[in-house]
Amino acid sequence: MDTALKAIADPKRREILRLVWTSELPASDIASHFHDVTRSAISQHLGVLRQANLICERRSGNRRLYRANAEEMARLRTFLDQYWTGGLDRLKTAAEAAQRKKDNEHG
Amino acid sequence: MDTALKAIADPKRREILRLVWTSELPASDIASHFHDVTRSAISQHLGVLRQANLICERRSGNRRLYRANAEEMARLRTFLDQYWTGGLDRLKTAAEAAQRKKDNEHG
DNA sequence: CGATAGTGTAAGCGAATGCTTACGTAAGAA
DNA sequence: TTCTTACGTAAGCATTCGCTTACACTATCG
C-alpha cells in the first residue's frame, strides 16, 4: 500500500495513470505524450506503477498494452478515505471518552 | 499540492499527522511516540509537514505545539477526489467527443 | 535470413531523502 | 547569572530517485 502511495506521489506517474485510466495504451503512445523526457524514463515509471500493482500489462505482438488496475486504485482510495475518516473517528472516540470522564466526575 | 502529496507518502509523517489530528501536541510528545528514531528525525519530519502546510505551529513558552491543518488536509483530499473522479470525467468527455464526431460524420 | 520497430534493462550520475551526531538558541528554574 | 529543558538546524553519510545513454531482446516485415 505504501508503494502505491509513493507511486502516485509523482506527478508524471499520476499523468500516466490518467492516460491509461480509460483506454489501454501501448508504451510508445504513453511515452510520446511526454516531450520533456526520454522513452526510457517513462518505461521506468511504468515499472514503478507495475510494481505498485496500479497498472496491468498485456502483450500484443510487438507491443505492451497498459491499463490502470481499477481494483488496486480503488483499494488505494479506500485506504486514504479510511486514513482521513480514521482521524474523525479518533475525534469522535476522544469526545466520547471525555464525555464518560465528565459523567464519572459528576456521578 | 505536490509537496503535500509527497509528505503524506511517508508512513511516519502520516502517523505524526494522526497524532496531532485532534489534539495539539508538543514536539517532545510526538517524538517520544517513536522508539525507533531520534528526536531530530521527527523534528525534520515536522519540518516537511510544516512546509507542506499540513500542520500549524504555535509557541507556548519553551514548547512548540503542533496540530494538523484541517483546511489543507481537506484541500489535499479534494485534490485526490478530483483526481479519481477526473478519470471518470475524461471518460465522459471522451464519450461525448466520440458522439459529436459520429454526429458530424452522419451530418 | 537480415533489417527495423517496440520495449525493457543495466550502468552511471546528480539530486533528494531519511537518518544520526553535534551544535545553537530561546525560555524557564535555581 | 548559570543550569536545564525543549526544540530547530548544520554536517555528514548511506540510500533512493529520476534521468540519460547504451545495449539486449522480441516480433514483424522484407
**Which 7-36 residues of chain A touch chain B by CB within 8 A?**
8-9, 11, 14, 18, 21-23
Residue B91 has pLDDT above 60, yes or no: no
Residue whose entry in the numeric block shows the C-alpha cell 499540492? B1
Nearest nucleotide over every DNA/RNA strand to the A62 CA, judged by C1':
D27
Task: Report pLDDT digits (tens) over A6-35.
Answer: 999 999 999 999 999 999 999 999 999 999
Residue B105 has pLDDT above 90, yes or no: no
Of the residues A3, A6, A12, A20, the best mutation for testing chain B's interface (the one with the most B CB atoms within 10 Å of its CB) is A6
- The pLDDT assigned to A71 comes to 96
Distance from the Cα of residue B18 to its chain's centroid: 12
Residue whose entry in the numeric block shows the C-alpha cell 505524450? A33
Task: Report pLDDT digits (tens) over A26-84.
Answer: 999 999 999 999 999 999 999 999 999 999 999 999 999 999 999 999 999 999 999 99
Chain A residue numbers with beta carbons less than 8 Å from the beta carbon of B6 are: 9
The dotted CATH code for B2-106 is: 1.10.10.10
What Å value separates CA A73 and C1' C27? 49
Establish how many alpha carbons lie within 13 A of residue A24's alpha carbon, considering only the half-sphere containing its beta carbon: 9
